Structure 1
Amino acid sequence: MQIVIHQSITFTVMKSFLVGLLIIAFSCPCQAQNPVLEWAKSTQGNRYSLGKSIATDKSGNVCIAGQFRGTVDFDPGTGVFSLSANSVWDVFVQKLDDQGNFIWAKSFGGYQNDQAYGIATDALNNVFVTGRFSDTVDFDPGAGVHNLHSNGNASYDCFIVKLDSNGLFQWARTIGSTSIDEGSAVTTDNSGNVYVTGLFSGTVDFDPGTGTSLLTSNGVEDSYILKLDSAGNFIWAKSMGSTFGDIGRHIQIDGLGNVVSTGTYTGTVDFDPGSGTYNLSSIGSYHTYIQKLDSNGNFIWAKSVGSTITAGNCVAIDLNNDIYVSGIFHVIGDFDPGSAVYNLTPKGNADAFLIKLNSSGNFLWATSTGGNSFDASTSVSTDRSGNVFATGSFSKTVDFDPGVSTYNLTALGSYDAYIQQLDSNGNFLWAGSMGGTGSDVGYSMAIDGKRNVYLTGLYTKIADLDPGSGVFNLNSNALNEAFIQKINQCANGGVDTQVACDSIVWIDGITYKSNNNTAQFRLLNKQGCDSLVSLNLNINRSNQKVDTVNSCTAYTWINGVTYSANNDTARYILTNSTGCDSIIRLNLKINSSQRTERIKACDSLKWIDGITYTEDNDTSQITFINSLGCDSVVKLDLNLGRSSSSVDVATACNQYTWLDGNTYYASTEAPKYILTNSGGCDSTVHLDLDIKKVSSDEILVKDSILTSQATNANYQWLSCGVETNRILGANERTYTPVLNGNYQVVITQNGCIDTSECIPLNYYVVPVYGPFNCKSIYPNPSHDRVYLELGDLENVEISLYSLHGELIGQERVEAGPVHLLNLELPAGVYLLRVNSGNLNHSCRLEIN
C-alpha cells in the first residue's frame, strides 16, 4: 500500500562554502509521496471506549474527546493513568504530545449516559468540549465541584465545557429543554469566541447566564448555532428548522470570521435566522444543508445538496475560504446546489460523498466513494497545500479513486477505517485503510500546521493501524477501544553523503572536522513538510609544505610571479590525490642584498670606504661579497648637520639664575652651556652677564627728616603699618612726615628696585590744651558727619589726615560754639587735627 523511498544524495565538496548547495537542495518542496504512519496509540480498558472528535493545539499537541465505560488506562505509554466511568457512558478528554506521549486525561459524567461529540482548541491552547448529558453531572474534573442539571431526568441537554491547557476546569455551560438537546460540534475563532451547533427540541433558553434568549423548535428537533465569548458569556443564538427533524452536525470559522455549518434537514426550512426568509426544501427525508452566517449571526447564504437520506457530517475550509463537506448518501442525488445538475449515484446501500464549494457557495466539484455495501465519510479536513483528506468507514472492497483509474482497498472485517487524500481539484492522490477482523471506524481527523494528519475512532480485536504497506497492530482488551494515530505526509528524508576537505558546516550549523555517520537534521520546507536527513560524511585532509629558495638575484616562482626581495607570505594551491588543497608556501631569501645606510652626523663623517665627508652625500656606495658569494651593496645616504654657538647677553639686578641652573651674583663672561640645535648638533651658548645693584638701602633719621643714603635714584616713600601705603608726593631723597610712625623708601637705581627696612619716627609730641578734647567730637564712630564742640575757640583750623600722614582735607572756622563737619569718606580710621592759637589737638576718627 505504500513504499518509502530513501534518497541518497552525494556531493563532493572541495570547499566548505559549497555546502550551501545542500541547503538549496533540501529547501525544495517534498516530492509526491504517500503519507506514512508515524505512530498509533490506543486506550486500554475493560469495557468500551471510542474517540469521537480530535483537535490539535498551537504547540503541536493533540486532544481527543470521546466516551467510555468501565475503567480505562488513558496513558498509551508504559505508565498507567486509569479513569473509571460513573455510569453506562462517561465523557473523557485526553491530551498527547506530537510524539504520542501522554500529557493528561480527564473525565466527567453522572449516572446516566453522557457523551462527547466535539472538541476544539483556541490560540491559548484552551480545550473546549461539547456533547450531551442527562441528570446531574460534575463537570469539574479536578478536586472542585461544578454540577449542572439537565431539565429532564430522562432527557438530554447540551453541555459546553472549557479546560485550560493543563486540563484544569475553567467553566461549563448547559442549554436544553425537557426533551433532547445536544451539541454536535464546537469550534473557536481568532478572538477566542466559542461556536456550537447541534439540535434542540421545544423551547430552550440559549443564554446560559442570567439573561434570557428563548428559541422554539418548529418540529421534533431543529438545528441551532450558539456563540459564546471566551468566558462562556452569551453573544447570540440562531435556529433553523421545519416541522420535521433537523440537525446541525458540524461547524467551522473561515479566514474572514464567517460561520459555516452543515447538517441535515427535512421538509422546508427558512435558513435566514434573521427577519428575512430563505427557504430550502428537501425531496424526501434528510437533505444536506450548508449555511454561511457572518460573525454576528447574519445570514449570507445557504445551499442544499443530495436527495433522500443525504447527511452532511463534516465541513472543512481551506486557505482560500473554499468549503468542503463530506457525509453519506443512499440514493442518486444532485450535489450541485446551483441551477446546474451534478448527480452522484451510490454503488451500494450507502456511499460517502465529498463536495467542494467556493466561498460564495458556488459548486466546484463533487465525488463519491463506495462499494456494494455500506460506506460513509464522518470527517473531512484540509492541509495548507490545498489537499483534502476524508475519513470514515467502509466494508468489503471499495475503489477510492473517484476518477477513471482504480485504487481498491478491501476491508479485513465488517468495517475498516479509511483515510483518503485528494488534491484541491478532487483528483485522487492516495488512500489507506486501518482495521482487523472486527469493526473499525474513523470518526474524526485534524491536520496540524506541519501537515501531519491525526485520526481518532474505535477498533476491535486486533487492528493494523498502518495505512501503508507496513504493519502496526494494536490489541483491544475490551469490546472496543479508542485509537489515535499520526500520519506524516512528508518524505522521511534520506542520507546526505558528503565528501569534504578538513571540515564542513552542515545544514544543522555545526562544523564537523572528522568522519560522521550519526548526525541527523529535520528540515522544514515551504509546504510544511519536515524531513529527517542523516549525514554520511567522509573528511579528507589538505596538506601543506614550504618551498625554501636561496637566490642571488630576483626569483620567478611556480605562480609566475618574480620576487626581488625576501618573501615568506606567498601561497600557491594545488590539488592533492584526495581532491583537497595542497598548499605550498614560499620561503625565499635573496642573498644578493642591497641596503642603504642612512646616517646623520655633525660637521664631518669618515665612512666605511675610508673617506671623510664634510658635505651631504647620497651617491657613494661600496660592494662586498657575502658568505654565500653574492654581492652585498651598501649605499651611503649622508646628512650632515652643523654645530653652532651664540652669546646670551643678560642684565640683572643683584643676582641672575641662568639656563645651566646656577645663580650668579656678580657680572661674568665665563659660563658656557651646550644645547642641541635643530640639526641635532652642538649649540654652545656663552653668558655675558652684567649684575646691577642699588648703591644703598639705608635711611638716615635726623629730627623729623628722613634721608635715603642712595644717591642719583628715584624714590617712593611708604608708611609701614597693617597695610603698607604709598605716600603721595613723597618722591624726593628726603621726606618729612607730619606724624609719628614707621616709614620706608623704595629706591629705583640702575634699573633695579630695592626697598629699605621700616624706620620708626617718634619725633612729634601731641599736647592737649583747653577744654577741647576728643570727646568734643561726636558721633565717633560716624557714618558721614560729625559735630565739633569748639566752645569759645576762634580762628580754628580743622585738618583731616590718613593714618599714613597724608592730608585729605582742611577748612577754617571763625568761631564756635558747635561746628558741623560733613564727610564723604571711605570706611576706615582717620586723624582729625584741631589748631587754634596755642591749642593743637589730634583725635582718632572712625568712619563706618
Structure 2
Amino acid sequence: MRTILFILTVLYCLPFATKGQSAKLEWASQMKGSSFDVCQAIALDAAGNVYATGYFSTTTDFDPGPGVFNLHSLNAEDIFLAKYNPDGKLVWAKSIGDFRYQAGYSITLDAAGNIYITGIFFGSLDFDPGPGVTTLSSAGNEDVFISKFTNDGDLIWAKKIGGASNDFSNAIVLDKTGNIYICGYFDGTSDFDPGTGVYNMTSAGSTDIYICKFTNNGNFVWAKQVGGPSSESAYSIGLDAQNNVYATGFFWGTVDFDPGPGVHDLVSNGFGDGFILKLNNGGNFIKAARLGGDSRTRCTYLKMDNSNALFVTGYFDGDTDFDPGSGTQILHSPVGDEDVFVAKYDLNLDLVWVQHITGPSFQRSFALDADADGNVYATGHYNGSADFDPGPGTHILTASNDPDIFVLKLNASGAFQWVAQGTGNFYGSGYALKLDQQNNIYVAGTFEGTKDFDPGPDEYKLTSAGESEIFIEKLRQCANAAVTRDLTVNACTSYTLNGRTYSSSGDYINILLNERGCDSIITNLHLTINRPGSTQQVNICQGQSYFAGGRPQTRTGIYYDTLRTAAGCDSIRITDLTVQPAPKPNLGPDRNLCKGQNIVLDPGLFDSYLWQDNSNQAVYTVSSPGTYRVTVTNQYNCSATARVVIHKLVSPPANFLPPDQSLCSGNVLKISLPGYRSWAWNTGATASSIEIITAGMYYVTVTDPDNCTGSDSIIVTKADCIPIGIPNAFTPNNDGRNDVFRPSQNIEVNSYQLQVFNRNGQLLFQSNDISKGWDGRYKDQPLDPGTYVYQVTILDANSRLHQYKGNIMLIR
C-alpha cells in the first residue's frame, strides 16, 4: 500500500502541460463492394448532409447501416451519386453507367440545394438515373460531362464537351449567381460548346489545360486553353469575392499561360512543375505563378478562405522553390520520394508561407479546406514514417504496411495543431475533405483490408470485402486544451489507471475522456512490471521491435531486465532475441497496360506467394486494368505485401504522322513527334524529329510512355513548284517588318517586271528591278488600306515566260 500512495503523490506533483485541439471520431461509414470503388469528391449543405460522387465496380451496397441498398455496374466502373444525413445514414443513392468506363470527379451545390457533378464518360450513356432517358455520346475516347440534379437526385440536365481524343474534367465550382466553372485537360481538337454551337480548341502538344464557364443552365459562356508542346493539366479551380478564377495543376516544358493574344511563358525545370493561374471573370489573363524545382511538383487542390487567402496543397520531390516572386523558399525532398506541401498565398499570388510534411518514403495530399479563422485542413496518404509537425517540433506517424490515411490541421500561420491517422494493413487514402459550419471535418476516399478510423486510443475498424471500398468519416474537434502529464510506475504484477489495466512493462498513453468524448487528461505512463526471473527465445521480423532490456529492441542480441522495486519485487528476465530479415517484394510502379499485351508481375524469389485472388503462383500475368497485390513469405516466416495499380488499357500509337505531302526542290519538310519515349526512323535516325529534303517513303516506329509501340509512314513526292513566292498581304507601317510588297524568286531570270494596279485598273507602281518592291504609296502619298491587284512577268533563263496575277491586301 505504501507503493501505491507514493505513486499518487508523484502524479499530482507533476507539472501540467497543455495540448491544442484534437480530432475525435464522430462516425465512419463504408460502402461495401466486391471490386474497386473510390469516392473522389464530397459536398455539404447547411444542414450537414453529405453528397458524394466517384465510381464503383460490379455490386456495391451504398447503405452503411444494417439495411442493403445495392447499385450494380454493368461491367467497368460506373458513376455514383449519393446523399447521407449528418449522422452518416443513407438518404438515397443513384448510379449512371453502361458497360464502359465512367467516373465522377467533382461535386458542388448551389444555394437552392441542387447538385452539380462533373467527370468523364465513354461511348453512349444515359445520364438520367430515373425512368427518363437523357443520352450523351462521346466523340471519341473519354469526353467530359457536366450534370445538374435536384436535391433528391433527379436529373435536371446533362451536357458534354470533348473531341475524338481524350478529355478529362477534374473540378467544378459555382459563383454566387450559379454560373458554372470547370477545369481539366484535353488532347487534340475538342468542342467546348455543349449546345448547338461549336467552339473548338486544339491542344498544342500531348494534353493542354482548359478552363470553361457556363451559365446555370449549362449554356456556353467562354472557354480558355493553356498549353505547350508536352503535357499539362488543371486539377483544381476556385473563385475569389470578385469572381476572379484561380486554377492549379502541373505543366511540362515551356507553356504560355496567357490564353489571350499576349504571351506569359513559364518554364519547368524538372519532370513537371506546379502552377497557379489567375484569370478575370471573362477568362482574361491576370497572373500566373510557377512552383517547382529540379524534379517533380504536383499542385492537387486549391481553396480560398473567408479573407480571400489562397491555400494550395500537393506533393513534390527534389529541391522545390515555392516562392513564385523574386525571393526563394526552397523545400527539399529526396528525389524518388514524395513529400506533402501546404502553402498560403495572397490574391496577387505572393507567398505568405509554405509548410513541409516529410518522411523517408512517399506522402501525397489530395484535398484541403479552411475554416473562418484561417486554419487549414488537408488529407491524403503517407507511407512509412512521416513527421507531420513542419515546425521545430516533431509528430511522427508510422504506416504499418501500405500507405495510411492522414488528416492534418495547421493554424493560420502554418503551425502544427494536430494530425489524425487511419491505420491498417493495406492501402488507404483521403481524396476529399470538407468542413461544416461547426468546423466538423468530413473526409472521404478509399481503403483496402482493415482500417482503424478512430484517431484516439479506442478502435473503430472497418474491413473491405473487395479490392478497395469507399469510406466517409466525420471528425469533431475538441476545443478545450487537455492536460498532459508523465507517470512512472513500478509494480509487481499489473497496474490499473482510469479503468485500464496494464500487465506488462512498457510505455503507454492513457487518455481520460470528458463528457463530450474529448481528451481531458493524457497520461504518459512509463510502467515496469517486476516478475520472477525467466528466459525466453524470441524471433521477430525486420521492421518489428520487441521490448527487452528496458526499451523496444530491433537488433539481434541477449537482453537482461533486472529490477528491484520499493515493494520488494525482484525480477530478472533474459530475452534471447533474433531479428530475421523481412522480404522485399517489388511489383514496380503503377502504370497503364497496352492493348493486346500482357504484363508479368514478378515480386522476386520467396518461399510462398498469396495474390489478391488467393492464387499462389510465383508470377502473375495481368491482361486487364485493376489493383494487384501480393503477400510474400520468406524462409523465416516473415511477410510483406506489395501493390501495383494498372490504371487503364491504352491503345498503341497510330496515325501520328501527317498525311502524304509533296516537296518543292530545295525545300525542307520537318516532322516532329513529341511525347514519345523512343523513335526508330527507316533513315536510321532515333530523334523525335527529322528533316526531309528528298522524295520517298519514310516510316517510323515509336514507343509511348506506357511502353506501347506503333508504326506509321508518309510518302513524300517531288512537287512541280512555281518559281516565285508572292505574299498576299503587307503592312507598310515602318516597323521594319513586312513594310514592302516584293515577290521572291528561286530561279535565274533574264527579265522581270512587277506592276500594281488599283481596282479601277490605274497603274500605281511598276519596277523591272527584282530587288525593289511597292511601299504602299502613289506619287509619294500613302494609299488607304484595301485590296490591290498585282501582275508579275518573268522570262526565265530558258526563255520561258511566266506571268502571275492576283490580289494583295494593304493593311495599316
TM-score computed with the length of structure 2 as normaliser: 0.56
Q: Which residue of 2 aligns with 1:445?
A: 433
Task: Give the whole-Å Cα distance in 2 for the aligned partners of 1:31 and 1:269.
Answer: 47
Larger radius of gyration: 1
What is the match of residue 414 of structure 2?
426
Is contact 1:384–1:449 with CA below 8 Å preserved after alignment?
no
Counterpart of 2:318 in 1: which secondary structure?
A: coil
Number of the residue aligned with 1:237: 223
Quote the residue 2:639 is aligned against. none
Match of 1:339 in 2: 326
Q: Distance in 1 between matches of 2:331 and 2:39?
A: 30
Which of these residues, 407, 410, 413, is aligned with residue 401 of structure 2?
413
Change (3 A) 1:455 1:291: same
Q: Using a 3 Å threshold, how does the CA distance of structure 1 residues 532 and 468 change in structure 2: closer, same or farther?
A: closer
* 1:567-611: CA deviation from partner (whole Å, max 9, x where unpaired): xxxxxxxxxxxxxxxxxxxxxxxxxxxxxxxxxxxxxxxxxxxxx
| 1:84 aligned onto 2:76 | no
- Which residue does 1:220 correspond to in 2? 206
What's the CA shift string for 1:470-493, capped at 9, x where partnerless?
311112111211000011124499
Q: Choose which of 253, 260, 271 in structure 2 pairs with 1:274.
A: 260
Q: Residue in 2 aligned with 1:317?
A: 304
Deviation (angstroms), 1:110: 2.1
Contact 2:109-2:116 within 8 A present in 1 as well:
yes
Please give the per-residue CA displacement for 1:767-798, whole angstroms capped at 9, x wherever unaligned.
xxxxxxxxxxxxxxxxxxxxxxxxxxxxxxxx
- 1:151 aligns with 139
**Equivalent of 2:41, from 43, 53, 57?**
53
* AA in 2 matched with 1:338: G
Amino acid at match of 1:284: G
Question: 237, 250, 270: which is aligned to 1:251?
Answer: 237
1:126 is aligned to 2:114: yes
What is the match of residue 110 of structure 1?
A: 98
Equivalent position to 2:385, from 397, 400, 418: 397
Query: Are 1:352 and 2:305 counterparts?
Result: no
Aligned-partner residue type, residue 112 of structure 2: L
Matched, 1:378 2:366: yes
Write the deviation string for residues 797-848 of structure 1: whole angstroms up to 9, x where unpaired.
xxxxxxxxxxxxxxxxxxxxxxxxxxxxxxxxxxxxxxxxxxxxxxxxxxxx
Kindly tell me: are residues 39 and 366 of structure 1, through their superposed partners in 2, closer, same or farther at Cα, counting changes over 3 Å?
Answer: same
The question of whether the paired residues in 1 share the 8 Å contact of 2:20 and 2:480 is answered with no
**Cα gap change, 1:193 to 1:532, in 2 (>3 Å):** farther
Per-residue CA shift, 1:698-736, capped at 9, x if unaligned? xxxxxxxxxxxxxxxxxxxxxxxxxxxxxxxxxxxxxxx
Q: Secondary structure at the match of 2:163?
A: coil
The CA RMSD over aligned residues, in Å, is: 2.0
Q: Which amino acid aligns with 2:388?
A: F
**Moved >3 Å (runs of 4+):** 490-494, 531-534
Q: Output the TM-score relative to the length of structure 1.
A: 0.54
Q: CA deviation at 1:469?
A: 2.8
Report the alpha carbon displacement of residue 467 of structure 1 after superposing the two structures with TM.
2.2
Q: 1:330 aligns with which of 309, 317, 324?
A: 317
1:504-523 equivalent positions in 2, closer than 5 A: none
Q: How many Å apart are 1:533 and its aligned residue?
A: 11
Distance 1:448 1:213 in 2: 38
Q: C-alpha separation between the residues in 2 aligned to 1:272 and 1:410? A: 43
Q: Is the 8 A contact 2:21 2:481 kept in 1?
A: no
CA distance in 2, matches of 1:342, 1:86: 50
Structure 2 unmatched ranges of 5 or more: 1-17, 483-514, 519-812
Letter in 1 for 2:251: Y
Q: AA paired with 1:218? A: A
Match of 2:733 in 1: none
- Contact 2:124/2:135 (<8 A) preserved: yes
| Distance in 2 between residues matched to 1:123 and 1:486, nearest whole Å | 23
Distance 1:327 1:533, change over 3 A: closer
Q: State how 1:693-732 maps to structure 2 within 5 Å.
A: none
Specify whether residues 131 and 270 from structure 1 end up closer, same or farther in structure 2 by C-alpha distance, changes over 3 A only: same
Identical pairs, percent: 39
The within-5 A match list for 1:231-630 is: 231-307=217-293, 308-347=295-334, 349-491=337-479
The answer for unaligned runs of 5 or more in structure 1 is: 1-29, 495-530, 535-848
Seen in structure 2, the aligned counterparts of structure 1 residues 374 and 31 have a Cα distance that, compared at 3 Å, is: closer
Paired residue type of 1:76: P
Counterpart of 2:204, as a letter, is N
Find the counterpart in structure 2 of residue 163 from structure 1: 149
Distance 1:442 1:265 in 2: 24
What is the CA–CA distance in structure 2 between the aligned matches of 1:68 and 1:235, rounded to whole Å? 33
Note if contact 1:413-1:435 (Cα within 8 Å) is conserved in structure 2.
Answer: no
Q: CA deviation at 1:255?
A: 2.4
- Which whole-Å CA distance do the structure 1 matches of 2:479 and 2:352 have between them? 30
Letter paired with 1:417: I
Shift of residue 532, structure 1, vs aligned partner: 6.4
Residue 128 of structure 1 deviates from its aligned partner by: 1.2
TM-fit CA distance, 1:65 = 0.8
- In structure 2, what is the Cα distance between the partners aligned to 1:425 and 1:49? 37
User: Would you say the 8 A contact 1:418–1:432 is kept in 2?
Assistant: yes
Within 2, Cα distance between the matches of 1:492 and 1:231?
46
| Amino acid paired to 2:298 | A
Give the C-alpha shift of residue 316 in structure 1: 0.9
Alpha-carbon distance, 1:263 to partner: 0.6
Residue matched to 1:570 = none
String of CA shifts for 1:454-478, please: whole Å, max 9, x gaps: 1111111111112233311112111
Name the residue aligned to 2:182. 196
For 1:135, the equivalent position in structure 2 comes to 123
- Equivalent position amino acid for 2:308 in 1: N
How far apart, in 1, do the equivalents of 2:260 and 2:373 lie? 36
Give the Cα–Cα distance (whole angstroms) in 2 for the partners of residues 298 and 104 of structure 1.
Answer: 41
Q: Show the counterpart of 1:69.
A: 57
Distance 1:46 1:492, change over 3 A: farther
Partner deviation per Cα, 1:193-217 (whole Å, 9 max, x = no partner): 1111000011111110011212111
Check conservation: 2:234, 2:248, Cα contact below 8 A: yes
Cα distance in 2, alignment partners of residues 533 and 312 from structure 1? 36
1:32, CA displacement in angstroms?
A: 4.1
Q: What secondary structure sits across from 2:306 in the alignment? A: coil
Distance in 1 between residues matched to 2:217 and 2:67, nearest whole Å: 34
For residues 93 and 304 of structure 1, what CA distance do their matches in structure 2 show?
Answer: 35
Q: Which amino acid aligns with 1:352?
A: V
CA contact (8 A) 2:391 2:416 kept: yes
Task: Please report how far the alpha carbon of residue 284 of structure 1 lies from its aligned counterpart in structure 2 after TM superposition.
Answer: 2.5
Post-superposition offset of 1:422: 0.3
